[in-house]
Structure 1
Amino acid sequence: MNQLSSIKALVFDLDGTLLNAQKIISERNQKALMRSYQSGFKLFIATARPPRSVHTMVSKELLDCVSAIYYNGAYVRDANGKTMSFTISRADSEELIDLMCVHNETDSISIESEDILYALSDKTFAKNAKHMVLPPTIVTPPELKKLLANKILLFHCSSIVKRHIMNDKKRLSIVETDGKELMQIMAQNVSKSHAVAALCKKMNLSMDSVMSFGDDWNDLDLFKTCGYSVAMGNAVPDLKKYASMTTASNDEDGVAQIVEQLIEAQ
């Protein structure tokens, strides 16, 4: 770990990385992150989750020490409490909503807007509860179209819909996670790496001095842009190809194992 003495900041994904299978930050991981903060490292949490969900899983003690990146980068809160919000254009949102309605897949779409989840059908939560903390607010298609969407979620959508959406990659940021059963759609150029880069610029930090931890495809952009990247032992196989190193799984405190070594090395 001596060659990593230039690391100044640490970025952590949550699910499958900092959280274990029980969706808890272990005592060892908690202590390692607090030690790293006290040692002078800048800390970032970068997740697909909304703020309300993160606040139920991350202690206030730790949240007070980190800059938080939500919705894969579409909503950001820096360590001083200042926020940045990036939304999908109204035209693009309307097109996606119409597409789901035309194909009778209204129970497969939901929209995150400023920390509130909206959907068109009660069936959305019944079918996709594992991806949601609480049931969404049910609205009509016209009402859904009026929202400023930080992120659009598509669950188990048909291959026809997927093909249509993938043709819009130039206009939207699209990530497939959870075994490709979930499509997460943000505005063009929105990503975890863009959010981290914006925060690092404020802190006069180089992306070369950032170490990122992750396990799924929405961490790939961070792996490509940070100076060092750590894949969890449970990470999707192809992500490991882009990692500087691999650690133990999220159930084996893989994050803490690396952070502890990093603290000692510095």
Structure 2
Amino acid sequence: MTTVYLNGEFKPLSTASINILDRGFIFGDGVYEVIPIFNRIIFCFDEHMNRLENSLEAIFMDNPYTSNQWRSIFEELIDTIEESEQSIYLQITRGVSERDHDIKIADKPTIFVMSRPIEKKNFSVGINAITHEDIRWQYCDIKAITLLPSVLLRHKAREQGAKEAILIRDGYITEGAASNVFVCKNDEVLTPLKSKHVLPGITRDLVIEILANNKITYLETTISEKDLLNADEVWITSSTWEIVPVTQLNNLPVGTGETGALWQRVDQLYQEFKSVYCE
């Protein structure tokens, strides 16, 4: 039996339900977080809580709980699952109101949390990706539940035998449909600057920290589509996929078409960091 948290109660998933007029259902009016659990330890808890706070502030909502309250909820859910590697899904909507765009008429948020095992995937040989116009809205730095563009982009990637779509806006990379992007050229690691069009990825920031601590040359900068297509290596990052090498892009090899030496080094450093963090 899967246990979830909904509006102050732990209950079976099969009995959890929300009001049909919840603004998350009607308008997609809410935010979310996905937080990995490794060895039953919440990974980068503070960083995820900070991003949640920023997302809530951006949509004019208050955080309903303190960090300690969130941690207590997460830990109780983690204990209901046998697997040691899990992912927490947390969603906060503005709550129930009549169907009206006015946000002031909703005064009680809907709070939902669940945890589930992370499906183990071996991406060590690399994945295929495509490029696509960035069709999303102008506030991609908010981790909003309105994910239809990303759903469509992932579907288009799958139709072409790929796992991810790397997005291009005005000739420059923003990010993946559900990931951040790194490009390597001549032993230098590049990643797009944070902006309204780039989600501040927790794994992205951790990779940058690892690069800096190990004196690996990196730069946060604009990256053109041409630079992407001519890269020696391309990686995507996310909380549950971690660091994934892209070895085929638009059905053409990236670099040699094999996983690169820089990815192998950085992935090893990341795994070492994770092991120490989650001891």
- Check whether TM > 0.5: no
TM range (shorter): under 0.3
Give the TM-score normalised by the residue count of structure 1. Answer: 0.25
Higher helix proportion (structure 1 or 2): 1
Higher strand proportion (structure 1 or 2): 2
Give the TM-score normalised by the residue count of structure 2. Answer: 0.24
